[in-house]
Chain A
Amino acid sequence: ETGVTQTPRHLVMGMTNKKSLKCEQHLGHNAMYWYKQSAKKPLELMFVYSLEERVENNSVPSRFSPECPNSSHLFLHLHTLQPEDSALYLCASSQPGTTLPGELFFGEGSRLTVL
């Protein structure tokens, strides 16, 4: 098993659909992150969870709803999305105090297309 696994790898959805992205980490880390990667834009930090509590929400629209049921799993629930939400969504994990500062472990990403 790789360190951080994201499913699905590709997702196409309509603007009225409800779907979820899943992230699972097998590294024993206690912090998990959602990033949005759009072409020609900096990676945008969306949410940070530490010890299963949300510690960061970077003004993300409410159509994105994160969930962290335990330290190994992170979800991003999607509903009523817009075409501009099409992007690569990256999950990452770390263990502040144990991993090197700033060393995030990323998944391969979920490529989302909103029609």
Chain B
Amino acid sequence: AQTVTQSQPEMSVQEAETVTLSCTYDTSENNYYLFWYKQPPSRQMILVIRQEAYKQQNATENRFSVNFQKAAKSFSLKISDSQLGDTAMYFCAFMAPFNTDKLIFGTGTRLQVFP
């Protein structure tokens, strides 16, 4: 069975600084998808970034980028130039291609951005 582990329950960062959130996963699959979802306080969870395992290039979305290390089964999220609006819970998630849209989530990391 696939599992997703986020070992940092809480993180904090000062505005304009860079922060990295960690995620590891366990699977025997070779092809799969990885995601970072953001859940702001009392607001809807939204997809931040996704990575397809067969792509070696790390995904990037504006200030958000990932460091995907397939052999190590590691998938960290880097947020550059942190903004107050980045304060949220961040969930790492895994999906096997044959289980379309059935996501396995981690426990989340609560990120606080300070002015």
Contacts and interface: CB of A to CB of B under 8 A. Distances in A.
Interface of A: 2-4, 31, 33, 40-43, 45, 48, 56, 90, 94, 96, 100-108
The interface residues of chain A, by DSSP majority, are classed as: loop
A96 B9 contact: no
Contacts of B29: none
The interface residues of chain B, by DSSP majority, are classed as: loop
A96 B101 contact: yes
A4 B46 CA distance: 12
A112 B3 CA distance: 26
Given A42-B107, A101-B33, A105-B44, 13 more contacts: A3-B44, A31-B101, A42-B106, A43-B103, A45-B104, A101-B95, A102-B33, A102-B47, A102-B93, A102-B95, A103-B47, A104-B103, A108-B44
13 contacts: A2-B44, A4-B44, A42-B105, A45-B102, A94-B101, A96-B100, A101-B97, A101-B101, A102-B95, A102-B103, A104-B103, A106-B45, A108-B43
A72 to B, nearest CB: 17
Contact of A102 (B35, B43, B45, B46): B35
B51 to A, nearest CB: 10
B68 interface: no
A100 B48 CA distance: 12
A42 B35 contact: no
B4 interface: yes
B95 A42 contact: no
A94 B35 CA distance: 15
A102 B95 CA distance: 7
A102 B9 contact: no
Contact of A43 (B33, B46, B105): B105
Contact of B9 (A40, A48, A94): A40
B43 A40 contact: no
A107 B47 contact: no
Interface string B43-78: 111110010000000000000000000000000000
